[in-house]
């Protein structure tokens, strides 16, 4: 920012306010930040949006200090003589990409269109109170078929796809009911994973004992691996990586711990159901090499991406873009990871490198089209990369831990699969986060200048004595 621009910002900065006015403005600022944090926006986005709102409210950047934690946001406004601090607690974290998109637009519109405080508060409250884009049953059905898409990625037939989808739909809907009754989030996750796995076991028995041909599946065990994957904490995990790379270490660590707790609750529910049902370790010899036609994987990837978009409350108008993103991610991953060693066409670089490249390609594409579709990077990139989650490796590790009897070989198998699965998931997160971070840094000066120009226009509109020639 030039010295002249700095002067302009100072002229529009902190002025004499009553305690009531100051309290109101800080409350508006904190409400904006908390709404974003509760919708699981990454910390950098929360901070950027709060700074725009602060500029709109007339707060001098040098006088404003913002501290963002996972559950508390604090704002302090001070000068040489006064200091005013206010904080607000963030409640009920859940992914809501629609809210993130709308708040981001609001923080620009309020400056450009010179909103009154009343209008800003009204629109912010309208965003907060707005119903989700999909009904609970629509979300459950979308999430269920997303799990069915995962099942296809793991090598099942379309009958098993249907079984996995039904088990996931019912388990997901049951989790929603538990959440509505204010049950502990981790307990509801464990119970939902247990219910979905029990249902998958029931469908396995139906498939192997029925005489009706269209009810029989050649891959009856595959639904076990996909029926509970609607719980996968994709957004918290990617936000954790983004926060760590953006130096928001404290918030990133909290997100990491929350992600780990979700995974552990999910694993407990699945493991308990597997022990109750007496399911043998069927995944130890299960091939990870894709053997379906590419069009089948493309359809499955599109279904999974759109299903998770519905879980994350992505705007309906973006579902087609997300579906295309899922197809690109899976095809890119397969092209890079497969090769002559698996009797396939590709670069033969393995699943870790393939997953990183697939997610990075999607992230780069999103940096170019986000301004075309007028949506944040997260709304398209995160649902698109979810179909690459390595479910087979995760279940191999889980079964190895369940069957562990103190044998070194079993420990080795469990740890090897867990490490490989973790590496793939980490590479997916890095592939999404790194291009987005670099792109944000590239456009930061342009965005800052854009905000300065909007503030100049507001200043000229409200102050007839303001000399525009001074800042040219």
DSSP sequence for 356-384: HHHHHHHHHHHHHHHHHHT--HHHHHHHH
Beta bridge partners of 86: 75
Q: Write phi, then psi, for 71 (nearest 5 degrees).
A: -120, -5
pLDDT tens digit at each of 472 positions of the chain? 444 444 333 334 444 567 788 889 999 999 999 999 999 999 999 999 999 999 888 888 888 899 999 889 999 988 777 788 899 999 888 899 999 999 999 998 988 888 889 999 999 999 999 999 999 999 999 999 999 988 888 778 888 899 999 999 999 999 999 988 888 999 999 999 999 999 999 998 888 888 787 888 888 888 888 888 898 888 888 888 889 888 899 999 999 999 889 988 988 998 888 888 877 766 555 555 556 677 888 888 999 999 999 999 999 999 999 999 999 998 898 888 877 766 667 687 888 898 899 999 999 999 888 888 888 888 888 889 988 887 667 777 777 776 665 555 666 777 777 888 888 888 888 888 888 888 878 877 777 777 777 777 766 766 644 444 444 4
pTM comes to: 0.84
In the prediction, which pLDDT does 9 show? 36
In the prediction, which pLDDT does 82 show? 78
Rounded distance between C-alpha atoms, residue 325 and residue 132, angstroms: 23
In the prediction, which pLDDT does 84 show? 86
Rounded distance between C-alpha atoms, residue 245 and residue 430, angstroms: 9
Check: CB of residue 201 under 8 Å from CB of residue 273: yes
In the prediction, which pLDDT does 114 show? 85
C-alpha dihedral over 160, 287, 168, 334, to 10 degrees? -100
Rounded distance between C-alpha atoms, residue 356 and residue 360, angstroms: 6
Give CA angle at 300 (387, 367), nearest 5°.
Answer: 45
In the prediction, which pLDDT does 412 show? 73
Rounded distance between C-alpha atoms, residue 380 and residue 235, angstroms: 12
* DSSP symbol at 84: E
- Report the 10 Å Cβ neighbour count for 272: 17
HSE at residue 175, side-chain half, CA atoms within 13 A, is 30
In the prediction, which pLDDT does 281 show? 61
Burial of 437 (0-12, 13-18, 19+ CB in 10 A): middle
Burial of 439 (0-12, 13-18, 19+ CB in 10 A): middle
């Amino acid at each position: 920012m030039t010295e002249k621009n700095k002067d302009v910002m100072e002229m529009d900065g902190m002025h004499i306010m009553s305690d009531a006015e100051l309290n109101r403005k800080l409350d508006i600022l904190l409400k904006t930040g908390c709404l974003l944090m509760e919708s699981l926006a990454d910390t950098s986005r929360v901070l950027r949006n709060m700074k725009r709102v602060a500029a709109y409210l007339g707060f001098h950047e040098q006088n404003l200090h913002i501290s963002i934690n996972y559950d508390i946001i604090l704002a302090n406004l001070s000068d040489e003589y006064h200091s005013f601090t206010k904080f607000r607690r963030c409640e009920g974290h859940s992914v809501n990409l629609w809210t993130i998109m709308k708040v981001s637009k609001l923080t620009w519109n309020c400056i450009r269109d010179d909103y009154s405080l009343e209008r800003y508060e009204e629109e912010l409250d309208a965003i907060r109170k707005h119903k989700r884009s999909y009904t609970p049953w629509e979300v459950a059905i979308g999430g269920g078929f997303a799990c069915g898409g995962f099942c296809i990625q793991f090598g099942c037939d379309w009958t098993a796809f249907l079984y996995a989808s039904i088990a996931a739909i019912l388990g997901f809907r049951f989790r929603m009911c538990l959440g509505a009754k204010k049950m502990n989030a981790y307990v509801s996750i464990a119970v939902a994973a247990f219910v979905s796995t029990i249902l998958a076991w029931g469908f396995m028995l139906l498939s192997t004992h029925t005489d009706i041909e269209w009810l029989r599946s050649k891959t009856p065990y595959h639904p076990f691996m996909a029926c509970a994957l609607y719980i996968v904490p994709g957004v918290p995990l990617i936000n954790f990586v983004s926060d760590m790379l953006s130096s928001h270490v404290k918030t990133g660590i909290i997100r990491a711990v929350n992600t780990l707790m979700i995974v552990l609750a999910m694993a407990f529910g699945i493991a308990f159901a597997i022990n109750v049902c007496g399911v043998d370790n069927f995944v130890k010899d299960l091939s990870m090499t894709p053997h379906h036609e590419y069009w089948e994987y493309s359809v499955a990837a599109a279904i999974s991406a759109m299903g998770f978009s519905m879980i994350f409350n992505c705007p309906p108008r973006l579902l087609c873009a997300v579906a295309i993103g899922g197809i690109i991610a899976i095809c890119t991953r397969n092209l890079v990871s497969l090769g002559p060693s698996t009797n396939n066409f590709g670069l033969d670089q393995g699943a870790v490198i393939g997953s990183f490249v697939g997610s990075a390609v999607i992230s780069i594409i999103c940096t170019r089209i986000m301004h075309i579709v007028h949506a944040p990077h997260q709304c398209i990139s995160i649902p698109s990369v979810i179909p690459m989650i390595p479910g087979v490796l995760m279940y191999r590790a889980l079964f190895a831990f369940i069957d562990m009897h103190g044998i070194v070989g079993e420990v080795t198998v469990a740890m090897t699969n867990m490490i490989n699965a973790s590496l793939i998931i980490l590479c997916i997160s890095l592939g999404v986060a790194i291009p987005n971070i670099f792109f944000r840094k590239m456009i930061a000066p342009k965005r800052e200048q854009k905000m300065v120009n909007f503030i100049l226009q507001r200043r000229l509109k409200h102050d007839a004595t303001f000399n525009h020639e001074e800042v040219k």
